[in-house]
Amino acid sequence: GARGYIDLTLACMRNFGAKVEQMSPGKWQVQPSEYIACDTLIEPDASAATYLWAAAVLTGGDINIGTAPTDFTQPDANAYQVIAAFPNMPAEINGSQMQDAIPTLAVLAAYNKTPVRFVGIANLRVKECDRIRALSEGLCRIRPGLAIEEGDDLCIKSDPALAGQTVDARIETFNDHRIAMSFALAGLLTHGITILNPACVAKTYPGYWDALASLKVEVVTEASQPSA
């Protein structure tokens, strides 16, 4: 599993006075105690930051989100190094410790110079939707064969030539905020991407479409559906 998320939870508990002892690599014991109010610093959402990091490398721009990638402690911040490597992303990416960043990375990989295989992501099948299937189907709407499921791995048959093309790709989000936000990135380079049920981003990033618009991204409405 994603051990980093457990470590974050334990650190927060201890910060508020909880007494937690690790009994074994996968077992912790919480002693009876009380949480004590204190001042604490809450860092920005690293999962949300991945969309802006990816937008910057896709467009060759520079987006300052106010927090340096190295200052994050959340596991999904590990995605920054992969994003920064674009368009030379690794041939194989283990997503087990940055699961919420995989939709971002998968869409980014569609424009990479070489194919990318995502492994360690079986848990994505039981998120808000089956994200492996949603990513595969959405990418194949952009170009048939762009993504292939091999067991619980997701293989992206990268195609940089998609940049500048016009397609007719209506992306089903399955009411999953991360699918909506990730596929909006494809619209930065490929025309004709329509995001269905865009309001689902409200779960974690209600201002996402406004954030893109503030970066001069043209976000239009089609029958009350924003698209990127």
Query: To 10 degrees, the CA torsion angle through 120, 126, 131, 136?
Result: 80
pTM of the model: 0.91
Same structural domain for residues 71 and 103?
yes
Structural domain of residue 19, as residue ranges?
A: 1-42
Per-residue pLDDT reduced to its tens digit, 66-99: 999 999 989 999 999 999 999 999 999 999 999 9
Could you tell me if 103 and 22 lie in one domain? no
Note the pLDDT tens digit of each residue in 146-203: 999 999 999 999 999 999 999 999 999 999 999 999 999 999 999 999 999 999 999 9
Per-residue pLDDT tens digits for 44-58: 999 999 999 999 999
Statement to judge: residues 55 and 15 lie in one domain: no
R_g (Cα) of the chain, nearest Å: 19
Which is nearest to 140 in space by CA: 162, 113, 112, 118? 162
Does 16 share its domain with 98? Answer: no
User: Residue 118 is part of a domain; what is its CATH number?
Assistant: 3.65.10.10
168 and 58 together in one domain: yes
- Rounded Cα–Cα distance for residues 109 and 48 (Å): 18
104 & 147 share domain: yes
Is 100 an active-site residue?
A: yes
Q: Determine the pLDDT at residue 1.
A: 59
CA proximity to 114, closest of 137, 138, 96, 93? 93
pLDDT in tens, 7-28: 989 999 999 999 999 999 889 9
Average pLDDT, the chain: 94
- Cα 33 to Cα 20, 23, 29, 200, distances in angstroms: 10, 18, 12, 38
Task: Please tell me whether residues 168 and 200 are part of one structural domain.
Answer: yes
139 lies in the same domain as 188: yes
Indicate whether 4 pLDDT > 90: no
What percent of the chain is modeled with pLDDT above 70?
Answer: 97
Question: pLDDT band for position 227 (50/70/90)?
Answer: very low
CA dihedral 194, 200, 202, 204 (to 10 degrees): -100
Question: How many domains does one find in the chain?
Answer: 2
38 and 59 together in one domain? no
Residues 26 and 56 in one domain: no
DSSP string, 105-173: HHHHHTTSSS-EEEES-GGGGGSSS-HHHHHHHHHHHHSTTSEEEETTEEEE---GGGTT-EEEEEE--
Which residue in the list 45, 71, 100, 176 is annotated as catalytic?
100
